[in-house]
Amino acid sequence: MAFASATSNSIGVSTQASILAWEKPFSPYYLHSGYNPGTILVTQPFTEENYATWSESVIYALDSKNKTDFMDGTIKAPLSTLDPIYPAWKCCNRMVLSWLLNSMTKDLIANVIYLNTAYAV
């Protein structure tokens, strides 16, 4: 899952640079150093009454971090833990899970805490 690009140095010799998916800032696997599992995505926590507005707010927040694909199921877990992208997927999925849980009331957290993917939540 690496992206390779050819570049030329000052004397015209082509060199190969390999950039891993989680190193590219626009990749959904990229985790900025400022991302924190304790981050509160939205100001009003999810309750049983405010799902519509809460979900739109969460989508906006996750979209700004390029992480909606983990929540909507577009990016699924690799089939094997040996897949080179698995560690990056696991970190991103857990980060999104943390953000989602931090934006819910304690009563709702109790219902979803044992789900393993952001998509399942």
Question: Counting beta carbons within 10 angstroms of the beta carbon of residue 93, is it exposed (0 to 12), middle (13 to 18) or buried (19 or more)?
Answer: buried
Q: Where does 1-121 have alpha helices with state H?
A: 51-64, 68-71, 86-101, 106-112
Phi-psi region of 16 (alpha: psi -120 to 50; beta: other; left: phi over 0): beta
Domain boundary assignment for the chain: 28-112
Q: What is the pTM of this model?
A: 0.80
pLDDT of the residue at 10: 46
The average pLDDT across 70-78 equals 94
pLDDT of the residue at 2: 45
pLDDT, one tens digit per residue, over 7-57 is: 444 444 444 457 777 788 889 999 998 898 998 899 999 988 999 999 999
96 in Cβ contact with 118 (< 8 Å): yes
pLDDT of the residue at 95: 95
pLDDT of the residue at 23: 81
